[in-house]
Amino acid sequence: MKKVSSFSPLFIAIAATMATAAQADDTTSSSTDGFIAGSHLSLDLRNYYYNHDNHDVHGTAGNLEAEWAQGASMRFESGYTQGTVGFGLDIDAMGGLKLDGGAGTSGTSILPESGTNDPNDRHGSAPTTFGSLGGTLKVKAFDTVLRVGDLFLDNPVVAGGTTRLLPMTFQGASLTNNSIKNLTLEGGTASFTKLYNQDGNQRISSYYQANDATAKKITWAGASWKPLPGLATKLYGAQLKDMWDQYFASVDYTYAVNDLISLNPGINYYRTNNSGRSLLGSIDNNTYSVHFNVAVGMNTFGLSMQKVNGNTPFDYILDGDSIDLDNSQEWSDFNGPGEKSWKALYGYDFTNLGFPGLTSAISYTRGTLDLTKANADSPAYGYYYTADGKNAMHWERDLDIKYVVQHGPVKDMSVRLRWAANRASGGYNENVDHNQDEYRVIVDYPINIF
């Protein structure tokens, strides 16, 4: 009997992307700026201090991780050569410099870890410098862009992490089409990734990798559509080879009641199943979150609910940002097996008080789990199982304050302060995660050179 691909919708979607491109009006397909005239060069400087304190079960401080580093990311993006089919080249160069973080306190994830033979040094000492150089060949025709090389990806199923010192990239090929107004179609495949604290590429894995299992590639396709003002929808699918198939759908709507008040309801949904050789074991997971935010002048009030259906946690790309769930917080994602969680948030913009560029947000998130129902035999997720974890619980408080310079020689430079506290009980803090406190100070300075 002929074998049918278990993930043919992905390739159908990619084919549809290329078909749409072929039907586009060629009068709008080429860039008129040219390879040099249409080019841009930018430099992003990031100074990052990260202090992470892992407490033990009884709350005694210990296992401190603290590092301070300076990062720089430079990107050259060319225009396209003249003609119906235009060619271009992008180059990215990234580097990190350790400012502080000796043996025993490394491991925050903003710098690489190195091994040590000292039995009293759990983490070792991070190297003083690290960096990378990469490039991307791009071809544009009929409102479709093909990129081959380093990919900066940002979609619900494949997204590079941007919350540390340097951005995370993938190596592969992607197609993006914008022939239809307010509709973006994309698809692609990648075989390697460069994590945000590494200077080399490695095979792609999931967040909950089992026995160092890696995938030969990840393939994805999807669409983002804004059919009406204020309404945004997304539909995506991805396959992490021999691990899982994952589908995503979302609807988000912002309705302006008047000049003062706006309403923002939305829902995000993921469906994940094991596939191929099932290196992570059996997966049958449905996860969704719903939110309702109300903006009144400079104030924002929000409430969200999230639910994981299945005896494994919701899984995603290792160190990536492809987790579009409302209760994914600074420390915890509240994505454990069968977990139910809710979040309340409040945000304030200080513009009306005479401080334009200053914003703040505070939130409280609480999740409950029955860890006795977790799959104890799973090679990747089995550690969630706890015999006395029927009433497991954890909560997180988050505070985020950010100021963006509005004028002057350092316009657009920002200073961001982040604090998170996570506490757990009922077996969650014994098998899954310890009680945590962490502080981050992030200074970003984007410079548009030309």
Look at 83-92, 120-129, 183-192, 343-352 and tell me which has the smallest mean pLDDT.
120-129
Higher pLDDT, 44 or 211: 44
Look at 54-58, 77-81, 152-156, 213-217 and tell me which has the smallest mean pLDDT.
54-58
Q: For position 404, what pLDDT does the model report?
A: 98
Residue 106 near residue 128 (C-beta atoms within 8 A): no
Look at 8-12, 47-51, 381-385 and tell me which has the smallest mean pLDDT.
8-12
Mean pLDDT score, 331-343: 96
62 confidence band (pLDDT: 50, 70, 90): low
pLDDT surpasses 60 at 355? yes
SS3 breakdown of the chain: % helix, strand, coil, rounded to 5?
Answer: 5, 50, 45
User: Mean pLDDT over all residues of the chain?
Assistant: 89
Ordered structural domains, the chain, with CATH = 34-231+317-336+370-448 (2.40.160.10)
Mean pLDDT score, 360-381: 95
| Tens of pLDDT, residues 234-276 | 999 999 999 999 999 999 999 999 999 999 999 999 999 999 9
Q: For position 1, what pLDDT does the model report?
A: 40
Q: For position 101, what pLDDT does the model report?
A: 80
Q: For position 23, what pLDDT does the model report?
A: 41
CA distance 436 to 338: 22
CA distance 188 to 351: 42
pLDDT surpasses 70 at 227? yes
| Tens of pLDDT, residues 82-139 | 999 999 999 999 999 999 886 667 778 898 876 544 434 445 577 889 999 999 999 9
Which position has the token pair 């789990």?
369
Cβ-Cβ contacts under 8 Å for 369 (sequence gap 6 or more) = 336, 337, 338, 339, 340, 389, 392, 393, 428
Q: For position 440, what pLDDT does the model report?
A: 97
Look at 26-40, 138-152, 393-407 and tell me which has the smallest mean pLDDT.
26-40
Look at residues 133, 163, 135, 127 and name the one whose alpha carbon lies nearest to residue 46: 163
Beta strands in 178-260 (DSSP E): 183-194, 202-203, 218-228, 231-240, 244-253, 255-256
Query: What pTM does this model have?
Result: 0.89
423, 428, 431, 436 alpha-carbon torsion, rounded to 10°:
-10
Mean pLDDT score, 350-362: 97
Mean pLDDT score, 369-381: 93
pLDDT surpasses 50 at 57? no
| Tens of pLDDT, residues 294-308 | 999 999 999 999 999
